[in-house]
Amino acid sequence: MQLSMTSLRRIVARVIMLGLFGLAISACHLDMYDQPKYTPLAASDFFKDGASARRLVDGTVSRTGLKIDERTTGHVGGDPAGEYVTTNPISINEGVLARGQERYKIYCSMCHGVNGDGKGIVAGPYSQGPLKLKPPALFYVNQLSAELQKAPDGYYFNIISHGKQNAQGDYTMFQYASRIQNVDDRWAIIAYIREMQKNPPAQK
Amino acid sequence: MSIQSVERYQMAQVFNRRTNKIVRLSIFVGIPLVLALLSTAWWYYTRSDWIRDVGPANAKVQPGGGYSHQLHVGGLKLDCRYCHTGVEISSSANIPPIETCMGCHSQVLTKSAKLEFIRNSYAKDVAVQWNKVHDVPKFVYFNHSIHVAKGVGCSTCHGNLATMPVVYKTQALFMSWCLNCHRNPEQFLRPKSEIFNPAWQPPADQIAQGLILKQQYNIRSKLQLTNCSICHR
């Protein structure tokens, strides 16, 4: 095909213009960048409370979270009205203790102390003040701790899972079930606490 | 033709021959120069800390003045996972529910005016709307748990939170920045025990250590980690 110089030039010009036009329109929209979908905890203008994350319906049970046995309830036979279990339902080995230590340091140490002396960095400074916070030491230091040491494993499990209320019904310790979601992690923490109680760290 | 008439004819020209040079110069040099300047300005503008919200000066305003990581992480040494419980098990590290704040603040600093909004939120059961700081485009499927499991520490991307009164971005989160690590992860890998240490500094022999860790963590090859669908699904 024979093209004259003029028509060739015209074609080149058109291609360049088309390219520039393409560049211009492609750079001007962000609808893939901000897609109309919810990412975790994103705000929503659809729901009345402004949150895209919906609450679970009361009584919802997760597929693996049915509370029917000692491992998930800490009660003998899985009966919430029954006795606390006295032995740790998971088998304890070095790995479990290491996991327990790690979880203890993350979730417990700020109040109960890194070595379980009840002098954690958050609660410690307040224990002498008007607030009189007394997170119990987890090994023998005072009357409370001595009682705690005798308490069965299931008791610890239920305090971790549901929190601890004082005589007025106020929570002195909130529940940790939402943060330590895996029940085996809770049992690992308990195993580690028992280990600390067996070999209490040196007192200052 | 008389001399006078020739002069009159020449005077009638507004532009003399030399202006042709200026016209040519402005077309072939001036226009490319302006385009180059504009594109350079655009390049720097779109990559500036200001437009990418990087640095303390560009920190987002948060409700109640924001949660001080400097105080809680730097001062009280709270572990990241105390609040960001999803970071090891989920794509999202999650912002804690207000109950996590109240776990301590129902007993500590209960009269503080600064914490009024926290108590209100808890009492009225209305979520506090924090402003998202690290917001990747929706076509990026970032997963916290895999990065944490494979030796990428928090501060590699988020900076040293223990020094931040208000959270700000220390990285602009460019794709080239993601790829820098996906191509050569050994530059940033740390041992398991240091993942959540906000003040971690790479050792002098980081590359050598990183290569060993890369083996230990069983990290995939450069080819696999730079596959488009690793991040874009």
**Residue B88 distance to chain A (closest CA, Å):** 12
Contact residues on chain A for B134, CB-CB shorter than 8 A:
none
Dihedral, CA atoms, B183, B185, B186, B188, nearest 10 degrees?
A: 130
DSSP per residue, B42-91: HHHHHTSTTTTTBSGGGPPP-GGG---HIIIIIIS---HHHH-TTTTTSS
Report the alpha-carbon distance of residue B151 to residue A128 in Å, rounded: 41
- If you average pLDDT over residues A165-183, what whole number do you get? 88
* Residue A24 contacts B, CB cutoff 8 Å: no
CB contact under 8 A, B76 and A121: yes
Cβ separation A133–B107 shorter than 8 A: yes
Percent of chain A with pLDDT over 90: 34
Least confidently predicted of A98-112, A118-132, A143-157, B89-103: A118-132
Q: Which chain B residues are Cβ-neighbours of A33 within 8 angstroms?
A: 137-139
Q: What is the pLDDT of residue A196?
A: 85
The yes-or-no verdict on residue A204 having pLDDT over 80 is: no
Residue B203 dihedral angles phi and psi, to the nearest 5°: -70, 170
Chain B residues with CB-CB distance to A173 below 8 A:
103
pLDDT at A111 over 60: yes
CB–CB contact B76 A122 (8 Å): yes
pLDDT in tens, A127-145: 554 445 566 666 555 556 7
A vs B: CB pairs below 8 A? 66
The more confidently predicted of residues B123 and A203 is: B123
Q: Is the pLDDT of residue B83 over 50?
A: yes
pLDDT for B149? 96
Contact A171 B81 (CB under 8 A): no
- B5-14: pLDDT as tens digits: 555 555 667 7
> What confidence tens digit (pLDDT) does each residue in B89-128 have?
999 999 999 999 999 898 888 888 999 999 999 999 888 9
pLDDT at A130: 47
- d(CA A177, CA A170) in angstroms, rounded, equals 18
pLDDT at A131: 47
* pLDDT, position A141: 55
Residue B224 confidence (pLDDT) above 80 = yes
Q: How far is CA A183 from CA A66, A70, A189, B103, in A?
A: 11, 11, 10, 20
> Which residues make beta-bridge pairs with A173?
A164
Q: Contact A179/B78, CB-based, under 8 Å? A: no
Give the one of A39, A106, A122 whose C-beta lies nearest to B108's C-beta: A122
Mean pLDDT (chain B) is: 91
Q: Comparing A147 with B136, which gets the higher pLDDT?
A: B136
Angle formed at CA B63 by CA B61 and CA B67, multiple of 5 degrees: 85
Q: What digits encode the pLDDT tens for the residues B54-80?
A: 999 999 999 988 899 999 999 999 999
* Interface contact A41-B91, CB threshold 8 A: no
pLDDT digits (tens, 9 = 90+) for A36-95: 899 999 999 999 888 899 988 988 888 877 888 899 999 998 888 889 999 999 999 999
Helix (H, G, I), strand (E, B) or coil at B105: helix
Smallest CA–CA distance from A34 into chain B, residue = B138
Return the higher-pLDDT residue of A14 and B146.
B146
**What is the rounded distance in angstroms from the CA atom of residue A73 to the CA atom of residue A181?**
13
- Give the chain B residue whose CA is nearest to the CA of A104: B82
- pLDDT higher than threshold 60 for residue B42: yes
Q: Is the pLDDT of residue B81 over 50?
A: yes
| Minimal C-alpha gap between B11 and chain A (Å) | 37
pLDDT tens across B151-177, in order?
999 999 999 999 999 999 999 999 999
